[in-house]
Structure 1
Amino acid sequence: MSELAVETVHQNIHQRQSIGHLAEPAPDAAQLERAFQAALTAPDHHRLKPTRFVVVHEAQREAFGELLSQALADTGQTEAAQLERVKHHPFRAPLLVLALTQLQEHPKVPHFEQILSTGAAVQNFLLSLQAQGFSTMWRSGAVVESALFKKALGLTEADLISGIIYIGTAVKAIPPRAAMQTSEFVSDWKK
C-alpha cells in the first residue's frame, strides 16, 4: 500500500465523527451496498455472521418513529413529552440503518465476541460511508432494550439492537477532533 493510500485511510478514520442533524442527499443503493460489503468484512470468529442490518428509508420514517415511541413506552417511559419527542428522531436524517446482533450458541465463540464483531462491522460501515462523502450518527438508548421493538424486528429477547445509524449529509461543518495523547491509553506489558 502506498504512503498516500495509508494517509488517506488514516485521515478518513480521524475525520469520522457523529453528526446530530443530517440532510439530503443520503447514499444511493450502490453506495449503501458498498458500505454493507465493507461492514461484512469485520472480524468474525468461526464466521457466525451475527450481524444483520435493517434499512429504514425516508418514506418509512414516520411509521418508524411511531414504533420507537411504542418501544420507549414498552421500557416503562410514561412521560408524554418523551414519547412524543422520540417519534421525531427518525427525521434527524434521510436514511436510517439498524444494526442488529443475532447471538448464537457456539462452544468457541462467546456472546461478547459476537457483539464485538457487530461493533467492528458498524465501524467499517461508518468509515465506508465517510469515505464516500456521507456523515453518520450511531445511537442506541433505552429503546433498544424494548422487547416490543425486538419482536417487531424479528429478534429474540436474547438478540441485540446494537444501534440505530442515522445517515445523510452534514448540514454544517464541525470542528475536527482534538488529537489524543495515546500515552494516556497505551502501556507496555511488563512481566
Structure 2
Amino acid sequence: MSDLAVETVHQNIHHRQSIGHLIAPAPTKAQLELAFLAALTAPDHHRLKPTRFVVIPEAEREAFGELLSQALADTGQQEEAQLERVKHHPFRAPLLVLALTKLQDHPKVPHFEQILSSGAAVQNFLLSLQAQGFSTMWRSGAVVESSLFKQALGLTESDLISGIIYIGTAVKAIPPRQEINVSEFVSDWKK
C-alpha cells in the first residue's frame, strides 16, 4: 500500500465523528451495499457472521417512530413527553439502519467475541460511509433493551440491538476532535 493510501485511510479514521444533525442526500443503494460489504469483513472467529443490518425505508420512518415509543414504554418509561419525543427520532436523518447481533452458542466463540465482532462490523460500516462522503450517528439508549423491540425485529431475548445508525450529510463542518495523547492509553507489559 502506498504512503498516500495509508495516509488517506488514517485520515478517514481520525476524522470520523458522530454528527447529530443530518440532511439529504443519503447513500444510494450501491453506496450502502459497499458499506455493508465493508462491515461484513470485520474480524469474525469461525465466520459466524453475528451482525445483521435492517434498513428503515423512508416511507416506514413514522411507523418505526411509533415502535420506538412503544419499546421505550416497554422499558418502563412513563413520561409522556419522552414517549412522544422518541417518535421523532427517525426523522433526525434521511436514512436509518439498525445494527443487530444474533448471538450463537459455539464451543470456541464466546458471546463476548461475537459482540466485539459486531462492533467492529459497525465501525467498518461507519468508516466506509465516511469515505464515501456521508456522516453518521450511532445511537442506542434504553430502547435497545426492550423485549417488545426485539420481538418486533425477530430477535431472541439473548440477541442484541447494537444500535440505530443515523446516516446522511452533515449540515455543517464540525471542529476536529481533540488531539489524543496515545501514551495515556498504551503501555508496555512488564513481568
Q: TM-score interval w.r.t. the shorter chain?
A: over 0.9
After TM superposition, the runs of 4+ consecutive aligned structure 1 residues lying more than 4 A away are none
- The Cα of 1:58 is off from its aligned counterpart by 1.5
Specify the code of the residue in structure 2 equivalent to 1:57. Answer: P
Write the letter of the residue equivalent to 1:76: G
TM (norm. structure 2) is 0.99
Q: Residue in 1 aligned with 2:85?
A: 85
Aligned position for 2:121: 121
**How many angstroms does 1:132 deviate by?**
0.1
Give distance in 2, aligned partners of 1:58 and 1:92.
12
Task: Write out aligned runs for 1:1-191 (5 A).
Answer: 1-191=1-191
Distance 1:175 1:51 in 2: 32
Q: TM (normalized to structure 1)? A: 0.99
SS of corresponding position for 2:5: helix
Structure 2 SS opposite 1:137 = strand
Q: Is the CA contact (8 Å cut-off) linking 1:68 and 1:143 kept in structure 2?
A: yes
Residues 142-164 of structure 1 deviation map (CA, whole Å, 9 limit, x = unaligned): 00000000000000000000000
Unaligned runs of 5+ in 2: none
Tell me how large the CA RMSD over aligned residues is: 0.4
Q: Which amino acid aligns with 2:141?
A: G
CA distance in 1, matches of 2:14, 2:90: 27
Q: Could you list the runs of 5+ residues in structure 1 that have no partner in the other structure? A: none
How far, CA to CA, are the matches of 1:106 and 1:87 in structure 2? Answer: 38
The percentage of aligned residue pairs carrying the same residue is: 87
1:5 and 1:30 map into 2 onto residues whose CA distance is 23
Measure how far apart 1:179 and its partner are. Answer: 1.1
